[in-house]
Amino acid sequence: MSRTSRTTNPLTGVVVATALPYRRDPSAPAGLAVDHDAYADHCRWLVDNGCDGVGPNGSLGEYSSLTDDERRTVARTAIEAVRGRGKVVVGVHGPGSHQAVRWAEAAAEDGADGVLCLPPTMYRANPAEVVAHFEAVAGVGLPVMVYNNPADTKVDLTPRLLAEIAQIDNVLAVKEFSGDVRRVLEIKERAPGIDVISGADDVALESLLMGATGWFAGFPNVFPAESARLFRLAAEGRLAEARALYRPLVAAFRWDSRTEFVQAIKLGMEMVGRYGGPCRPPRGPLIPAHREQITAEMRQAIDFLATEGQRG
């Protein structure tokens, strides 16, 4: 079968699952309207700081809280913002394949480089249904990164199942978010035709050292240049330097795997002088204990990077 080669796979590298800014607007859903100008600026800032691309309409992008019109416009905004300078991998998650296919078709029409797709999002699909879901999405023709997030979807794309999914034309990668770094090598053994992309920030270095070729990441919304550097150090096998950079950041990175990851990352953005802002329901404000902990762990990372910058 024909397949894009690893050397030309547009789904590798550091692709940032972009946080979505809102502005207050009483007429908008939940009183919050998407701030497309701020979002475009954020996408450009990420690419300008060394990230390879952006991923609109992921869970971090609060896709499930958007109207259909908002969701399409967010993807178009990202594509237009980084066109010619960075890749755009659009989230096309949907309850069923007919919804996911519709979003993939829109992404193709709008000029996306690829799509990120969960299994059916509101149904615990069996393996045959999962394969059929991805076959339908891949049939649109864009490169597909399947997304393994068993904690949220209750569907586990095991290495054995991925070996079958990998046979689908246009499925080029898996965003692996199980948190089990042992899977990187097993996926590479069972499904050598697809790239493994680290999906959890707090196992990013471990996954990259085991052979992951990308990082679909959350905290580069806060630390883009440093995250891009971490990726390069790992890719080049410069372990001592990579560990020295990773260790002071990983406490903050652990929030990427927690329920409050969107609020945590937006708070981190505020702490480095970017706009984070509120979230739409069902996500609410951080409780004081979480805000205090995130602030302390973010401060540790920020202070380390400031010291490192002075040394450089």
- Give the model's pLDDT for residue 5: 41
Nearest C-alpha neighbor of 270 from the set 280, 282, 285: 285
**What pLDDT does residue 308 have?**
78
Count other Cβ atoms within 10 Å, centred on residue 211. Answer: 12
Note whether 279 and 227 are within 8 A (CB). no
Residue-level length of the chain: 312
Q: List phi, psi (to 5°) of 37.
A: -65, -45
Q: Longest Cα pair distance anywhere in the chain, in angstroms? A: 55
Secondary structure class of 202 (helix, strand, coil): helix
β-pairing, 114-117 vs 13-17, is unpaired
22's tokens: 């809102």
This prediction has a pTM of 0.95
Say if residues 139 and 133 touch (Cβ distance below 8 Å): no
Determine the pLDDT at residue 256: 97
Q: Which residues of 77-97 are buried (b: 16+ CB within 10 A; e: fewer)?
A: bbbebbeeebbbbbbbbbeeb
Quote the pLDDT of residue 310: 56
Report pLDDT for 286: 98
What is the chain's pLDDT, residue by residue, as a tens digit (312 residues)? 334 443 468 899 999 999 999 999 999 999 999 999 999 999 999 999 999 999 999 999 999 999 999 999 999 999 999 999 999 999 999 999 999 999 999 999 999 999 999 999 999 999 999 999 999 999 999 999 999 999 999 999 999 999 999 999 999 999 999 999 999 999 999 999 999 999 999 999 999 999 999 999 999 999 999 999 999 999 999 999 999 999 999 999 999 999 999 999 999 999 999 999 999 999 999 999 999 999 999 999 999 999 976 554
- Residue 110 CB-density burial (10 A; 0-12 exposed, 13-18 middle, 19+ buried): middle
